[in-house]
Amino acid sequence: MAAYETIAFDAARCTGCGDCMSACAQEKTGGFDHAASRIQILPAANDGFELALCRQCGDPGCVSVCPAAALEKDAASGVVRWDETKCIDCLLCTVGCVYAGIAYDERTGRVAKCDLCGGDPACVKACGEGALRHVKSAQIYNRYGELEDLFVPGLAGCQGCNTELLIRHVLRAVGPETVVAAPPGCIPGMGTVGYNGKTGTKVPVFHPLLTNTASMLAGVRRTYKRKGRDVTALALAGDGGTADVGFQSLSGAAERGEEILYVCVDNEGYMNTGMQRSGCTPYGAWTSTTPVGERSHGKTQEAKNLPLLMVMHRCAYVATASTAFMEDLYDKLARAIEASKRGFAYLHIYSPCTSGWRFPSQANIEVARKAVETGFVVLWDYTPDAGLRFTRPIDDLRAVDEYLEAVGKYRHLDAAQVAHIQAQLEKDLGLLKELAVRGAQAEARALA
Amino acid sequence: MLETRYLLVGSSHAALEALAAIRMHDAEGSVLLATRDTAPPYSPTVLPYVVSGKSDPNRVRLRSDDFCEAQKVTLRSGSALASLDTAAQMARFADGTEVRYERLLLATGATPAIPKIAGLTRVQYHVLRTLDDAVRLREALGRARRAVVLGGGLVGMHAAENLVHARTETTIIEMQPQVLPGYFDAQAASLISGAFAERGTRVLCGQSVVSVAPRESGFALKLLGGERVEGDLLLIAAGVRPTIGYLSGAGVATGDGVLVDRRMRTSASNVWAAGDVAQAESFLQGGRRVNGILPNAVEQGRIAGMDMAGDPGARDYRGGVPINTYHFFGRQALSVGVDSLEGCETHVQVDEAAGRYRKIVLKDGRLAGIFSIDLPFDAGVMVELVLRGTDLAPVKQAFLENPRDTARALMSRLWR
Ligand SMILES: Cc1cc2nc3c(=O)[nH]c(=O)nc-3n(C[C@H](O)[C@H](O)[C@H](O)COP(=O)(O)OP(=O)(O)OC[C@H]3O[C@@H](n4cnc5c(N)ncnc54)[C@H](O)[C@@H]3O)c2cc1C
C-alpha cells in the first residue's frame, strides 16, 4: 500500500491571517470569500487557532457512508475524490466525517472538500507563517518501500525506538553491494549482527570492537577495491563507539580519506549497557553515571561536537540529520553514499531514546522535531568545496524549554541550568553561522 | 452443501462494511456473501434519486466489478435466506441451497411495513426499498396525475418531492400530528411541510386510512375522519420493519429486530447482526432500539466484522444516535440526537420569514441534540460531541451563537 502526501498544520504558528482561505477560495472559485474555502481556520476557545480540513483518511468515513458511490479514495494519490456527477447531495458524508473535512457549501448547495490541488496545495503556498506544510515524505516511503529490506524481520529494539526504522531505510538506500560494520551498541543489541550463528542482515555484517570500526572497514573497502568490486563500507555505530571509544580509528580513517560511509546514530549515551554518559551526552542530562540527587544535578560538561570535529578532518561529506525531518535525511543520505565512493562520508543522526531519555514511547518523532525546532540540534551539511550550509532555517527558533520539557532526563533542571544551556546553544550557533558565512563566501569565490 | 468460514447475508452497507473489516484482519478466510437482490450492491438511500432520474440506476453500485476478486469473496445474488439452524450452524436458502458457516452475519436490513387497511389487496400500490421498486415507481410516475403518499417519514417525503417535480398532484397522509416524527420537532416539521404546501402538496397530518377501494383509473381512500381521497398512484411509506422472517424457530432472540450486544452478537453463538435488522444499544434514549439509518449500518457492520474476524482492535458499539440529513427543494434540514430529555435545557432560534430554524438541546452541559433548517452544521462533528459527552460549559455561549464553527474548533483541538 502506498503512502501519501498530506498537509500538516502547526497551530502554534498560525496567526489566523486567513491567507490560506483566500488562496483556497481563489483557486477553487475565483473569489476571495472565505466561506468558499475548503480549509477553514477557526478561532480557538481560549487562544490561538484551529483547523477544519479533509485529512484524506486512509479509511475514510465519508466514503463508507456514501450511498451513491460518489466518494472514493484514489489509490495513486491518496486523495478522497468527490464525483459531482454521482453525488445526490444527501449530506451523509458530513455525518461520516468527524473533522468537518467535507462540508456543505451554502453558495453551491453542494458539499465541498480539499483535493490537495492536484499535488500543489494553494493554501500551503499562501501561508507565510510556516503553519501549513505540504508533507511529501510519503514519496520517500513509496520509493524505499519498493527497495528490498536488507535486514531480517524481527529486530528487537525498545518500544518506540526509531533506530530500527532508520537502519532499515539506510540499508535499503545503500543497497546489497555492502559490508556492514555494527560495533557494540544498541544496533547489534537489537539483533542486526545476529543470534545463534545467523546474521540479522541479508548482506555481510560484522561486529568489530568498539575501538576499530573505521580501521576494519577501511581494510574491507580497500580489499574489495583491489579486487575490482565497488562495495560500500558502511558503519552503523552509536555515539559512544564513535565519539569516545572508536574515535582514534575514526579520526585516522577520516584523515586518510578512506572511502567509508560512517553513520553515527547519536542517542547521547551508552544506552544498551544501562544508560551511562558518553562524550555526546549534553550538559545537564541525567544518565546512570551522571545521577540527579542532592549534590549531583546531571552532567556537568558540554557534549563534544562530533560532526564539527569531522568537518575539521575535511571529510568528503559531513552532515547532521534528524528522523523528524526525513526528506532532509534522505537527501543527505544520497549525498553521503555518493561521497563515500570518493572519500570519507560522515552522517550524524540524532536519535532520541525512549528508554534512556525518559519520555513516552509514542513521542519519539515529536522529541526529535522539537530538538531541531529549538536549535538544540542544528541541521547542516558540509563539503570541502561548498563549506557548511544550513539545511533548515535557524532564524526562527523556539525557546529551548519546549524541548527540555519534553524529555525526562532534563526534568530536574533548575533555571540556572536552563539558562546555561540556552547560552551555550547560542555560542554554538554563532560558531556554526560563522562557518556557514565562510562556506557561502567560498562558494561565491568558486563560482566567480 | 456449501461450507464457508464467514457467511454474510445481505449486500448493502452493513454487510459490505463487515466484509471490509474482516478483510483488514483476515485476508484469506473464505467469505460467502449471499443476498436476495439480483442487482450489484447498491444503497436503498439512493433510490429516491433513481426515481427522480438524478441517479442513473447503472451508476449507483457501491462496489466495482472486480471487488469480489479483489476481496476474495464469493457472491451469490438472488439468494434469499429462508431458515436457520443455529445449533448445526446451517443456513438454508429459498432455492434449497444449504450453507454451513463458522460465523454468520445477518445484515438483511428492513422491509416496508404495510399497514392493515381494508381493501389494500385489491388495489395496486408501490413501496420503495429495492432498485426494482425504484424503477417501477419511476415508470409509474410518468403516468400518474394524482398521487397519494402514505407516510410522512423520510421515504415518503423524498418520494413526494419527486412527485412535485414531476408535476403530479400529491397528497401526503401521516398518522402522527407532524411529518418526520422522531427527527424534527413540530415547529421544524411545520416549516418543512410548509414548503410542500407552498408547492401545492396537501399534507394531512394526524390522519389514518381505514379503507381503500379500486376506482376506474386508480383508487379511493377513506380516512378515519370520513374524508375521501382519490388518486391513481399509491405509495406506501409507512415505516419499515427489520427483515427477520427467516428466524422463526431459529432460537435467535428478537424484539423489534434482532437483539444484539455491543459487539453485535446475537443470542445465538457465532451469529452476529448489524444494520437496519439489528436492535442495538441506544446512546441517549437507553435500552435497545432499531435505529434504521445508514451511518449506523456502517458502524455496526464494522464492529461486527472486526469481532467476527477476532480483530483485537474491535471496540464496543458506543450506542446509536438518531441522525438525519434531509434536503427538500434545495434546503437543508439536519438533525442529530434527541430533542428532549429529562432535565435538559433547550435553546431555539427561529426566523420564520427566512424559514431558518435551530434548536440546541443540552443536558448537564453536554450536547444531547441539535436540529436546524438552513443553518448548516457538520453532523459528524456533532455526533462525535454527543458520543464523547464533551463538556460544552467552557464554550457554551459561543456554541449557542455559532455551533458550527465552535464545534469545528473544539473537535480540531480534541483530535490533536
Ligand atoms: C428511500 C430510502 C431513503 C433513505 N434515506 C436515508 C437517509 O437519507 N439517511 C439515512 O441515514 N438512511 C436512509 N435510509 C435508510 C438506509 O438506506 C438504511 O439504513 C441502510 O440501507 C441500512 O443498511 P443495511 O445494510 O442494514 O440494510 P439494507 O440496505 O436494507 O440491505 C439489506 C440487504 O439484505 C438483503 N436481504 C434482505 N433480505 C434477505 C434475505 N432473506 N436473504 C438474503 N438477503 C436478504 C437485501 O437484498 C439487501 O442487500 C433510506 C432508506 C430508504 C429506503
pLDDT tens digit sequence for A215-258: 999 999 999 999 999 999 999 999 999 999 999 999 999 999 99
Tell me where in chain B the CATH 3.30.390.30 domain(s) lie.
330-414
The whole-number pLDDT of residue A221 equals 97
H-helix or E-strand containing A316?
none
Atom of ligand 1 nearest to the CA of B292: 19
Instruction: Say if residues B260 and B284 touch (Cβ distance below 8 Å).
Output: no
- In chain A, the residue whose alpha carbon lies closest to the alpha carbon of B375 is A106
Distances in Å between the Cα of B101 and the Cα atoms of A112, B22, B308 are 43, 15, 12
A326 and A240 inside one domain: yes
* CB of B413 less than 8 A from some CB of A: yes
CATH number at B2-44+57-111+242-308: 3.50.50.60
Of the residues A136, A159, A191, which one is the last residue of a structural domain?
A136
**Does residue A373 lie within any of the structural domains?**
yes
Residues 274-333 on B with a CB inside 8 Å of A are 294-295, 298, 302, 323, 325, 327, 330, 332
Instruction: Spell out the SS3 assignment of chain B.
Output: CEEEEEEEECCCHHHHHHHHHHHHHCCCCCEEEECCCCCCCCCHHHHHHHHHCCCCHHHCCCCCCCHHHHCCEEEECCCCEEEEECCCCEEEECCCCEEEEEEEEECCCEEECCCCCECHHHCCCECCCCHHHHHHHHHHHHHCCEEEEECCCHHHHHHHHHHHHCCCEEEEEECCCCCCCCCCCHHHHHHHHHHHHHCCCEEEECCCEEEEEEECCEEEEEECCCCEEEECEEEECCCEEECCHHHCCCCCCECCCEECCCCCECCCCCEEECHHHEEEEECCCCCEECCCCHHHHHHHHHHHHHHHHCCCCCCCCCCECCEEEEEECCEEEEEEECCCCCCCEEEEEEECCCCEEEEEEEECCEEEEEEEECCCCCHHHHHHHHHHCCECHHHHHHHHHCHHHHHHHHHHHHHC
A236 and A305 inside one domain: yes
CA B321 – CA B156 distance, rounded (Å): 22
Cα-based torsion angle of the residue sequence A345, A351, A355, A357 in order, rounded to the nearest 10 degrees: 110
CA B65 – CA B75 distance, rounded (Å): 11
Name the grid cell of B152. Answer: 410522512
Give yes or no for residue A55 having a pLDDT over 90.
Answer: yes
A443 and A327 inside one domain: yes
A178 and A105 inside one domain: no
Residue with cell 416496508: B112
Q: Residue A50 and residue B412: Cβ atoms within 8 Å?
A: yes
A411 and A431 inside one domain: yes
- In chain B, the residue whose alpha carbon lies closest to the alpha carbon of A103 is B378
Per the structure, the count of domains in chain A is: 2
Domain ranges, residue A283: 148-447
**Does residue A1 lie within any of the structural domains?**
no
Burial degree of B291 (CB within 10 A; 0-12, 13-18, 19+): buried
pLDDT tens digit sequence for A328-373: 999 999 999 999 999 999 999 999 999 999 999 999 999 999 999 9
| CATH 1.10.287.1770 for the B330-414 domain, yes or no | no
**Does residue A141 lie within any of the structural domains?**
no
pLDDT tens digit sequence for B343-352: 999 999 999 8
**Does residue A372 lie within any of the structural domains?**
yes
Average the pLDDT over A261-270 and give the result: 97
Residues of B in contact with A89 (CB under 8 A): 327
Report which DSSP code applies to A312.
T
The whole-number pLDDT of residue B290 equals 96
ipTM confidence score:
0.96
CA B388 – CA A364 distance, rounded (Å): 28
Give yes or no for residue B269 having a pLDDT over 90.
Answer: yes
The residues pairing with B6 across neighbouring beta strands, listed in sequence order, are B31, B103
CA A318 – CA A385 distance, rounded (Å): 12
Q: Ligand 1: which residues within 6 Å by Cβ?
A: A 90, 92; B 9-15, 34-37, 43-45, 47-48, 80-81, 107-110, 128-129, 154-155, 158, 243, 246, 275-277, 292-295, 297
**Does residue A206 lie within any of the structural domains?**
yes
CA distance B56 to chain A (A): 8
Of the residues A136, A162, A186, which one is the last residue of a structural domain?
A136
pLDDT tens digit sequence for A139-194: 888 888 889 999 998 888 899 999 998 999 899 999 999 999 999 999 999 999 98
A153 and A132 inside one domain: no
A205 and A324 inside one domain: yes
The whole-number pLDDT of residue A155 equals 87
Categorize the per-residue pLDDT at A445 as very low, low, confident or very high, splitting at 50, 70 and 90: confident
Instruction: Say if residues A180 and A194 touch (Cβ distance below 8 Å).
Output: no
**Does residue A61 lie within any of the structural domains?**
yes
Query: Residue A344: which residues within 8 A CB-CB, separation 6 or more?
Result: A253, A254, A257, A258, A259, A260, A262, A313, A315, A316, A317
Give yes or no for residue A418 having a pLDDT over 80.
Answer: yes
Smallest CA-to-CA distance from A240 within A308, A187, A169, A194 is with A187
Strands B98-106, B2-9: pairing kind: parallel
Instruction: Say if residues B323 and B35 touch (Cβ distance below 8 Å).
Output: no
Categorize the per-residue pLDDT at B368 as very low, low, confident or very high, splitting at 50, 70 and 90: very high
A166 and A305 inside one domain: yes
Instruction: Give φ, ψ of A439 to 5 degrees.
Output: -60, -45
**Does residue A358 lie within any of the structural domains?**
yes
Atom of ligand 1 nearest to the CA of B274: 26
Of the residues A136, A168, A184, which one is the last residue of a structural domain?
A136
H-helix or E-strand containing A20?
helix A19-29
Choose the mutation target among B50, B55, B323, B328 for the interface with A, i.e. most A CBs under 10 Å: B55
A132 and A200 inside one domain: no
Q: Look up the CATH number of the domain holding residue A267.
A: 3.40.50.970
Name the grid cell of A421. Answer: 544551556
Q: Look up the CATH number of the domain holding residue A38.
A: 3.30.70.20
**Does residue A143 lie within any of the structural domains?**
no
The residues pairing with B252 across neighbouring beta strands, listed in sequence order, are none
Choose the mutation target among B67, B157, B325 for the interface with A, i.e. most A CBs under 10 Å: B325
pLDDT tens digit sequence for B369-403: 999 999 999 999 999 999 999 999 999 999 999 99
Q: Residue B45 and residue A98: Cβ atoms within 8 Å?
A: no
Average the pLDDT over A125-136 and give the result: 92
The whole-number pLDDT of residue A1 equals 62
Which residues of A make CB contacts under 8 Å with B? Answer: 11, 40, 42-45, 50-52, 61, 64-65, 67-69, 86, 88-92, 94-100, 103-104, 106, 109
Query: Which of A17-31, A127-141, B189-203, B216-230 bottoms out in mean pLDDT, i.e. has the lowest?
Result: A127-141
Cα(B318) to centroid(ligand 1), Å: 21
The share of chain B scoring above pLDDT 70, in percent, equals 100
Give yes or no for residue B300 having a pLDDT over 90.
Answer: yes
pLDDT tens digit sequence for A267-317: 999 999 999 999 999 999 999 999 999 999 999 999 999 999 999 999 999
Q: Residue A42 and residue B408: Cβ atoms within 8 Å?
A: yes
Torsion-angle region of residue A72: left (phi > 0), alpha (psi -120 to 50) or beta?
beta
Strands B366-373, B331-337: pairing kind: antiparallel
A131 and A156 inside one domain: no
Query: What's the mean per-residue pLDDT of chain B?
Result: 95
Query: What's the mean per-residue pLDDT of chain A?
Result: 94
Tell me where in chain B the CATH 3.50.50.60 domain(s) lie.
2-44+57-111+242-308, 114-238
The residues pairing with A319 across neighbouring beta strands, listed in sequence order, are A347, A381
Give yes or no for residue B93 having a pLDDT over 90.
Answer: yes
A350 and A415 inside one domain: yes
Q: Which residues of A22-54 are buried (b: 16+ CB within 10 A; e: fewer)?
A: bbbbbbbbeeeeeebbbbbbbebeeeebbbbbb
A111 and A156 inside one domain: no
* Fold designation for B114-238: FAD/NAD(P)-binding domain (3.50.50)
Categorize the per-residue pLDDT at B209 as very low, low, confident or very high, splitting at 50, 70 and 90: very high
